[in-house]
Amino acid sequence: MKFYSLKNHNIQASFKEAVIAGIAPDKGLYFPESITPLPADFFEKIDELSNQEIAFRAIHQFVSDDIPNKDLKEIIANTLDFDFPVIDIEENVAVLELFHGPTMAFKDVGARFMANCLGYFSQGEKQDVTVLVATSGDTGGAVANGFLGVDGVKVVILYPSGKVSEIQEKQLTTLGQNIEAMEVDGVFDDCQRMVKTAFLDKEITDYKQLTSANSINVARWLPQLFYFLFAYKQAKSKGKEIVFSVPSGNFGNICAGMVAQKLGMPVHHFVASTNANDVVPKFMANGVYEPMPSVATISNAMDVGDPSNFVRIQQLYQNNLDTLRNNLSSYSFTDETTKAVMKKVYSDTGYILDPHGAVGYLGLKEHQKSHPNTFGIVLETAHPVKFLDVVEETLAVKPEIPPQIIKVMDKEKKSHKISGYEELKSYLMDS
């Protein structure tokens, strides 16, 4: 299978080439040339399959030209060694817990899959690959953990100073080895802009092989479709139409869910739930896409003012807004509303939502006002302990600290403070 640039369909690459490059030469995102639905009996008998078997069959068509079956099965086994439970919290509402991996965030799946792919592709290569990534929170920790110690790969993570939680910062600044953290005086969009600029800077790319581990990279983005299938496997016995509500920042996660739907997964609707960064809700309402400077919120992993992956969603629906509206709704919520629903859900059910999951819950309830007989699955994208200050302040409870978090809390933070692109370029050229 080939992957083409969304800016110029004549620019094509293999899966391997797309993963290593990260982004197309024209700055476009890579997109698969076709999505072939899986046989109907795959979904009819999905509850008889293991998660690893589901993942193998779902991703196979996209990667099989470059990764033999035996190696692909090993990559999937290395990626999926934790659980993805769907937990009922009230009638017709469940959460898909995506925080049982090593960094307790949904990005563990994509980061581990990509790290294993890049490790496989770098075998026997003479030139090291530098993974350059911007993070608004959880991506950094997941990428750092996924790539830690991978031969032939160096990781440089840019994050906005003072705008990630203390635990998120510890997870991306304390590992050492082949991981370097850049603390940027700015917001996430500044970090992402620097990464994109570096990819277009020939002085760097003539000297270094750069790739990205943000969800712009196909190996980070596509494997996120796995856990939508795992959730369907667990929820199909409910006998109701399924709605997925996804806390959305860069929109790679919900886009991967839509690819699972294109593979044939029965799903009624998707809801993209955002915080005050409401570019997509406004677009869905008025048809005008207007990027904006990102706004800091308590659900910081979604503080994105120009979501990179929304162009992939538009491509899935041939840039037809009416068709997209039939399958996607999008709502924006304030911090105050988010805190209020965290309190309500905890009071009513005893379940602790993190701020991102709370935004997802709000979006689902909004959709269910007009579709009450659907079964809603909210993606809980990170463990609430990663946002301890917000949870403690809002709920007056202190969640138990899991061992994955305890092991980084006392480690020393190490980061390079930078204020602009030239400092990043100088570091990349000198290292």
Quick: pLDDT tens for 371-398.
999 999 999 999 998 888 999 999 999 8
DSSP string, 298-351: SSGGG--SS-TTHHHHHHHTTT-HHHHHHHEEEEE--HHHHHHHHHHHHHHH--
Q: How many CB atoms are located within 10 Å of the residue 415 CB?
A: 17
Helix pair angle (188-199, 421-430), 10° resolution: 50
Is 62 part of any domain?
no
Is 377 part of any domain?
yes
> Is 196 marked active-site?
no
Q: Are 273 and 359 in contact (CB under 8 A)?
A: yes
Is 309 part of any domain?
yes
Is 391 part of any domain?
yes
Q: pTM (2 decimals)?
A: 0.90
Of 83-92, 204-213, 220-229, 246-255, the one with minimum mean pLDDT is 204-213
CA distance 224 to 98: 10
261: containing domain: 83-103+221-402
Is 320 part of any domain?
yes
Q: Domain of 230: which CATH number?
A: 3.40.50.1100
Q: How far is CA 346 from the centre of its chain?
A: 26
CA distance 246 to 403: 27
Tell me the pLDDT tens digit for each residue of 243-272: 999 999 999 999 999 999 999 999 999 999
Three-class secondary structure of residue 382 per DSSP: strand
Is 351 part of any domain?
yes
Instruction: With residue 224 as reference, give the H or E element that holds it.
Output: none
Of 15-29, 113-127, 307-321, the one with minimum mean pLDDT is 113-127
Provide the number of structural domains found in the chain.
1
Is 397 part of any domain?
yes
* The amino acid at 148: L
Backbone φ and ψ of 101, nearest 5°: -90, -175
Is 147 part of any domain?
no
Residue from 16, 70, 107, 414 carrying the catalytic annotation: 107
